[in-house]
Structure 1
């Protein structure tokens, strides 16, 4: 039988966080689909409606947390997939830092967009 290899240490914190973020994402995605595809149909979604929803602190907070969680979950998964392919040394370090910088840029731009939709200005 083939040997199972994973870069995840099943006793490590990143392994646990990956599973927790997966569970959170399933719940938030279900909420998203229910709200934006069943309660409101695609033809009823407007920019003004998005602005209105983002002005609610609970919705805004959930969307920002969703952004951060999805970014971590996705980037951590990509990093571990690359690691599982056997990348080591300098290339592994370069991939890690490129993913970290891309994640930070994505989160910053996502929060800027959420702030703009919510009418939150940084003066």
Structure 2
């Protein structure tokens, strides 16, 4: 009988959140493809059209949630792939904190970009 192996801890929440974020991403990606490939042809999409969509709070909120969810899903997947490969100790800790820092930078820059498109000026920088 094959033994069970997973880098996720039994009863841990990271495994569950990986599945939840995957399901959310599938739905949002389907929405994206429908909107930008069937409702509007990709070649016809302009910056102004994107800015107009981002000014709607529902679309803006969905895109920010998509950014956060995709970042978590990707980083969590990379981290667990490295754990599956056998990374341990100091390297594991260094990778974890590097991925966390990169995630924070990505999310901050993504929100700054979304705010510019939406015409929201929250931060002075």
Q: TM-score with structure 2 length normalisation? A: 0.94
Question: For this pair of structures, how many residues does the alignment match?
Answer: 123
List alignment gaps of at least 5 residues for structure 1: none
Aligned partner of 2:45 in structure 1 is: 45
SS of residue paired to 1:121 = coil
Aligned partner of 2:59 in structure 1 is: 59
Q: TM-score with structure 1 length normalisation? A: 0.96
Aligned partner of 1:74 in structure 2 is: 74
Distance 2:44 2:51 in 1: 14
Q: CA RMSD in A?
A: 1.1
List alignment gaps of at least 5 residues for structure 2: none
Mapping of 1:68-107 within 5 angstroms?
Answer: 68-107=68-107
Mapping of 1:22-41 within 5 angstroms?
Answer: 22-41=22-41
| Cα deviation digits, residues 42-90 of structure 1 (max 9, x gap) | 1110000000000000000000000000000000000000001000000
| Cα deviation digits, residues 15-45 of structure 1 (max 9, x gap) | 1111110000000000000001111011110
Residue 3 of structure 1 deviates from its aligned partner by: 3.5
Structure 1 segments, 4+ long, off by >3 Å, are 1-4
